[in-house]
């Protein structure tokens, strides 16, 4: 059925993004919000809004029963979960199914299969996708972990079987470190995801983090090429690019083909991202996990290919077939996205919620700023610190970096500290400009004092 009334079960910039995509399709939008978010921009932009609970996410955005009840009460045809919160919660999808409401995303069974790293790994192997050498399934005891590590070789990465965002991950170089770190990883995974299950992988030294954007309609699937997401702090991405300059064309084609093969193998519906580690020394790549939702960094792919991914996922959720063949999807130029967080990069990235006292957004060809800000808006302290994403497009990577630097200089977010100085410094760094970095590059760069509060990168309060 075509979706006519869409309930947005998220907040912040992704809620604004979904509302704008849905309105362009002629769809009535219903914005969910907590008591703390009653004044957020998404509430103002939506056709209607409904409060789903108090500020605490557990009692509002994460409350399956409350969200489903609100969607039913507002006669929603479908629910878009955005990213985070309930976006990859199979129980939420089943509750919506029982209520006769469409979930804009894959089925509960697919989320179960691909959300668990062990079963996702098994699905990838069955589809012929290369995986990092590791345990065949969950590791139940420390002695089992030691046996696996002896077979695959140190260093090993200890990972939570469920969840993501870098939670539960440890790297052990020796058996002694493994015996010490595995219980810590179990405890963190249990606290974060309610599941203390672990599995082991060989740690690839200084890899690149490459991911492929796919879209499926349950029968067919296509890819929208790859993104490079290697600039990370505490395993959280801060700067993303499309495409990945480190790949040659044959490797790019093989990588993207494996992503489509896996999406087809699991009858995938909606937008999804397959994440890989790429060894630039050997030119080998390995599947690590699948995110069964729209990603924070999806705009760089939209800038690269000219496709509105949010509209496409709403279309297929309503029963539509893919509107593009693979041959229709063309790469053009280069795109970069940086995440602007309400954090002080000169004080260990301490969160800095507050009131937006001034806002100036850069405009022009190849510049986009996805955000949920307005002058006078009070940023609540209860949620993620992401304020917005600055995305630029250029004819090539160097032109995109130059445009990013100019756009950053023109972006002013007054009243709070932001991570703008970090991105200005990175845009001028010789290693970044020469594409010479990897997933472990940024933290030593920060620790070495490369980020300094100079007038060139501060230029004010933002």
Residue 459 has pLDDT above 70, yes or no: no
Alpha-carbon gap, residue 384 to 266, rounded angstroms: 31
- Annotated catalytic residue, options 202, 293, 368, 397: 293
Alpha-carbon gap, residue 54 to 284, rounded angstroms: 48
**Tens of pLDDT along 160-219?**
887 665 666 889 999 999 999 999 888 887 877 778 788 898 888 889 999 999 999 999
Nearest Cα to 12, choosing from 358, 386, 362, 419?
386
**Tens of pLDDT along 356-411?**
999 999 999 999 999 999 999 999 999 999 999 999 999 999 999 999 999 999 99
Identify the H or E element spanning 107. none
Nearest Cα to 425, choosing from 414, 435, 433, 417?
433
**Tens of pLDDT along 239-259?**
999 999 999 999 999 999 999
How distant, in Å, are the alpha carbons of 248, 256, 301, 335 from that of 253?
9, 5, 16, 19
Q: Model pTM?
A: 0.89
Nearest Cα to 457, choosing from 419, 415, 402, 403?
419
Q: How many CB atoms are located within 10 Å of the residue 184 CB?
A: 12
**Tens of pLDDT along 282-312?**
889 999 899 999 999 999 999 999 999 999 9
pLDDT of residue 425: 97
Tell how strand 5-8 and strand 78-80 pair up: parallel
Active site residue 397: no
How distant, in Å, are the alpha carbons of 30, 368, 389, 449 from that of 113?
30, 35, 30, 43
Alpha-carbon gap, residue 404 to 367, rounded angstroms: 8
Write the DSSP string, 286-311.
EEEEEE-S--TTHHHHHHHH---HHH
CB 368 within 8 A of CB 374: no
What is the DSSP secondary structure assignment for residue 318, as one 8-state letter? T
CB 392 within 8 A of CB 241: no
Q: How many CB atoms are located within 10 Å of the residue 439 CB?
A: 19
Share of the chain above pLDDT 90, in %: 84
User: Would you give the distance in Å from CA 286 to the centre of its chain?
Assistant: 19
Q: Which residues contact 41 (CB under 8 A, 6 or more apart)?
A: 16, 372, 373, 374, 377
| Coil/strand/helix, residue 38 | coil
Instruction: Return the bridge partners of 367, or none.
Output: 392
Residue recorded with tokens 């709070």: 416
**Tens of pLDDT along 133-142?**
888 888 888 9
């Amino acid at each position: 059925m075509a979706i006519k009334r869409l309930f947005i079960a998220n907040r912040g910039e992704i809620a604004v993004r979904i509302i704008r995509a849905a309105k362009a399709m002629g769809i009535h939008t219903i914005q969910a919000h907590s008591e703390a978010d009653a004044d957020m921009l998404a509430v103002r932009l939506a056709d209607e809004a409904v409060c789903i609970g108090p500020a605490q996410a557990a009692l509002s955005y994460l409350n399956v029963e409350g969200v489903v009840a609100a969607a039913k009460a507002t006669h929603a045809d479908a629910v878009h979960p955005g990213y985070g919160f309930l976006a990859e919660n199979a129980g939420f999808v089943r509750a919506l199914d029982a209520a006769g409401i469409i979930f804009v995303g894959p089925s509960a069974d697919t989320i179960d299969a691909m959300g668990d790293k062990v079963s996702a790994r098994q699905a990838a192997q069955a589809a012929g996708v290369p995986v990092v050498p590791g345990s065949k399934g969950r590791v139940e005891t420390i002695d089992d972990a030691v046996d696996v590590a002896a077979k695959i070789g140190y260093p090993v990465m200890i990972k939570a079987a469920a969840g993501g965002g870098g939670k539960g991950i440890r790297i052990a170089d020796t058996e002694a470190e493994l015996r010490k770190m595995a219980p810590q990883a179990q405890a963190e995974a249990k606290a974060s995801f309610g599941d203390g299950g672990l599995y082991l992988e060989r740690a690839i030294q200084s890899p690149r983090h490459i991911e492929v954007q796919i879209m499926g309609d349950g029968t067919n699937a296509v890819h929208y090429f790859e993104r490079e997401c290697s600039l990370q702090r505490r395993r959280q991405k801060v700067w993303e690019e499309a495409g990945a300059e480190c790949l040659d064309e044959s490797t790019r084609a093989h990588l993207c083909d494996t992503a489509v093969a896996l999406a087809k193998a699991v009858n995938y519906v909606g937008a999804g991202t397959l994440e890989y580690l790429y060894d630039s020394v050997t030119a080998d790549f390995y599947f690590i996990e699948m995110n069964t939702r729209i990603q924070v960094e999806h705009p760089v792919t939209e800038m690269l290919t000219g496709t509105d991914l949010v509209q496409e996922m709403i279309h297929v959720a309503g029963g539509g077939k893919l509107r593009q063949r693979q041959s229709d999807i063309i790469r053009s130029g280069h795109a970069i996205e940086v995440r602007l967080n309400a954090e002080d990069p000169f004080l260990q990235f301490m969160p800095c919620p507050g009131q937006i006292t001034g806002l100036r957004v850069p405009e022009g060809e190849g510049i986009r700023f996805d955000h949920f800000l307005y002058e006078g808006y009070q940023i609540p302290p209860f949620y993620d610190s992401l304020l917005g994403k600055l995305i630029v497009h250029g004819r090539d990577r160097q032109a995109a970096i130059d445009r990013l630097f100019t756009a950053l200089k023109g972006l002013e977010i007054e009243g709070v500290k932001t991570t703008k100085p970090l991105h200005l410094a990175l845009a001028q760094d010789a290693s970044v400009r020469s594409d010479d970095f990897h997933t472990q590059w940024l933290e030593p760069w920060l620790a070495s004092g490369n980020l300094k509060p100079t007038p060139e990168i501060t230029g004010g309060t933002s």
